[in-house]
Amino acid sequence: MGMGITVLVVDWSHLSAIAADERMRQLEDAGYQVDDVEDIEEGWRWPSGDGDPWFGTYEFRSTLGSFKPHFWAGEAWDDVRAFADPALKAALDRFLTPLFWDDATCDDDAEAQDEARDGMDPLRRHLLVTCTPEAVEDLVDAWNEAAPLLAQLREPYAGHAARPGRWIANFEEFSDLLHGWAEVAMEAERRGWGLVGLRA
């Protein structure tokens, strides 16, 4: 079946207050919590119950919870980025690298990475994505720069990155997945939260 991903927006202050050896269990409980919404195919799922939630999960459309579409979107960007306008290339590199390729955190700054590791370990080996609230702000800034230019990729994508019959087969599927990640980042920023991608 392959590797899956469960994407959550998370109240970072709540998560940081949890004992380090309990954080993974709490995140897993959050990521796989069953609520009143059954068989949700896309969009947000928030915990039911009293009080303000400290997390929400996001289901990407047409991915079935698999990590493969995200991996292939990263491969597609690698195939097409040389043909992108320089401004679009710079913005999408900033947006996609932390989500699809970065093996540490969404922060490029070494000190920020160390702080994030201190706050999240021993979770890192279980997480595919870790973005602090500050890093989420950069994701949103990068997306706001990239989004108006994204349609420029339609033609080069067809010529250099299309994979008919496979995950992320065309520009529309690529764009749709990116818009999903943008929705996650913008919701996290709106709340002042971070985001994580659990290895499922």
pLDDT by residue, tens only, the chain of 200 residues? 478 999 999 999 999 999 988 998 999 889 877 444 455 568 999 988 777 899 999 999 989 889 999 999 999 999 999 999 999 999 999 999 989 875 433 444 444 444 444 444 455 556 889 999 999 999 999 999 999 999 999 999 999 999 999 999 999 999 999 999 999 999 999 999 999 999 87
Q: Is 115 helix (H, G, I), strand (E, B) or coil?
A: helix
Domain total for the chain?
1
Domain that includes residue 135, residue range: 5-199
Q: In what order do the strands lie in the sheet with 194-199?
A: 43-45, 55-59, 5-10, 194-199, 127-131
